[in-house]
């Protein structure tokens, strides 16, 4: 029953789904690494820009470039507001307090979107008119290719930012030891704010890219956030390469498991992988030992 076209089709689709998980996991990992919070509202970081871009594109009929720029601009604002309201008042409180606060924010955003935009799913026009491009019998929607390409660009950008710029070094220093960073004259609060904005922008990019593929609903972020969470843990919590490899790994493996073992338990496989990783390599593929983080 094995055939190469099917295998290739599954691999490419898995890679695209994995890239989505990876993009969201990147936002998740970044906030964990730099600020030390688990952001359970990360799904809403995708849903909110999804709605913004749909409204701009379909209701207000703004051209693509402007719609995307305005969406990202609003996400800068969103990240800042999120930092001021959800994180800042509770900074220095126990880890769990902030975690609960992000869960609250997630519920708030989901229900507000439901009230504002209603329950009907929205569809966003994509950049591409072609439905699929095909190579040797493998069909790929161009949007999937864009998602994969965007992931690659962002990975390079993030590497350059963290390793080659002063801002990136400051962000890393803040992540490693906030008190020490403050003593060295790094404006820690500002750096944290920038980190939130960057995480929010990553969500914004994911939301824009996902809107034409997944349909925008108030609950669209939920499953993506769970998978991103699993990716992030599998890759090593707080590890940037871990989030990316974890995301791609889960995207591809869950699809192969679904095709060759059982499609019914597709979602289960992602979490079976997660449990297996936690048992065999608790620190994830790339992570530090979790015990050290506690």
Separation in Å, CA 106 to CA 33, 86, 121, 187: 20, 10, 19, 28
Q: Which of 4, 69, 81, 114 binds other proteins (CB under 8 A)?
A: 114
Only segment of 8-16, 24-32, 155-163, 277-285 that touches other proteins (CB under 8 A): 8-16
Q: What is the DSSP string of 99-138?
A: HHHHHHHHHHHHHHHHHHH-SSPB-PPPS-S-S-EEETTE
CB 277 within 8 A of CB 287: no
Site string for other proteins, 211-240 (x = CB under 8 A): --xxx-xxx--xxx----------------
Tokens read off for 188 = 């820690």
- Is residue 276 part of the contact set for other proteins (CB under 8 A)? no
Q: Rounded to the nearest whole angstrom, what is the least distance from the CB of residue 73 to other proteins in the complex?
A: 27
Q: Rounded to the nearest whole angstrom, what is the least distance from the CB of residue 118 to other proteins in the complex?
A: 6
CB 6 within 8 A of CB 139: no
Residues 34-73 that bind other proteins (CB under 8 A): none
What are φ and ψ of residue 139, in 5° steps? Answer: -100, 125
Q: Rounded to the nearest whole angstrom, what is the least distance from the CB of residue 119 to other proteins in the complex?
A: 4
Only segment of 161-169, 191-199, 210-218, 241-249 that touches other proteins (CB under 8 A): 210-218
Neighbours of 185 (CB within 10 A): 8
Tokens read off for 163 = 């390793």
Cβ closer to other proteins: 47 or 255?
255
Cβ closer to other proteins: 146 or 191?
146
Q: In what helix (H) or strand (E) does residue 140 lie, and over which residues does it extend?
A: strand 138-140
DSSP state of 283: T
- Residue 264 C-beta-side C-alpha neighbours within 13 Å: 0
Q: Which of 91, 182, 266, 281 binds other proteins (CB under 8 A)?
A: 266
- Is residue 104 part of the contact set for other proteins (CB under 8 A)? yes
Q: Which of 81, 111, 116, 159 binds other proteins (CB under 8 A)?
A: 111
Q: Residue numbers of the site for other proteins (CB under 8 A)?
A: 1, 3, 6, 9-10, 13-14, 17, 89-90, 93, 97, 101, 104, 107-108, 111, 114, 118-121, 123, 131-132, 134, 139, 141, 213-215, 217-219, 222-224, 255-256, 258-259, 263-264, 266-267
């Amino acid at each position: 029953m094995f055939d190469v076209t099917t295998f290739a089709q599954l691999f490419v689709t898995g890679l695209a789904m994995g890239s989505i998980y990876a993009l969201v996991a990147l936002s998740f990992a970044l906030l964990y690494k730099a600020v030390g919070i688990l952001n359970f509202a990360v799904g809403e970081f995708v849903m909110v820009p999804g709605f913004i871009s749909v409204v701009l594109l379909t209701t207000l009929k703004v051209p693509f470039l402007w719609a995307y720029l305005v969406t990202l601009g609003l996400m800068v604002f969103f990240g800042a507001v999120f930092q001021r309201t959800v994180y800042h008042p509770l900074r220095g409180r126990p880890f769990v307090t902030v975690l609960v606060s992000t869960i609250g924010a997630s519920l708030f955003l989901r229900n507000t979107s439901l009230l504002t935009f209603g329950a009907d799913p929205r569809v966003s026009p994509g950049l591409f008119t072609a439905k699929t491009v095909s190579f040797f019998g493998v069909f790929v929607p161009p949007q999937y290719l864009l998602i994969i390409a965007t992931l690659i660009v962002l990975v390079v950008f993030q590497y350059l930012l963290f390793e080659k710029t002063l801002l990136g070094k400051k962000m890393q220093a803040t992540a490693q030891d906030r008190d020490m960073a403050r003593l060295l004259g790094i404006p820690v609060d500002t750096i944290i704010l920038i980190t939130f904005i960057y995480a929010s922008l990553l969500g914004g990019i994911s939301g824009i890219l996902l809107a034409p593929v997944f349909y925008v609903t108030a609950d669209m972020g939920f499953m993506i956030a769970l998978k991103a969470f699993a990716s992030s843990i599998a890759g090593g919590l707080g590890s940037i390469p871990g989030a990316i490899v974890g995301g791609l790994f889960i995207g591809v493996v869950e699809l192969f498991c679904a095709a060759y073992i059982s499609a019914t338990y597709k979602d289960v496989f992602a979490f079976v992988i997660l449990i297996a990783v936690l048992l065999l390599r608790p620190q994830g593929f790339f992570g530090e030992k979790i015990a050290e983080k506690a």
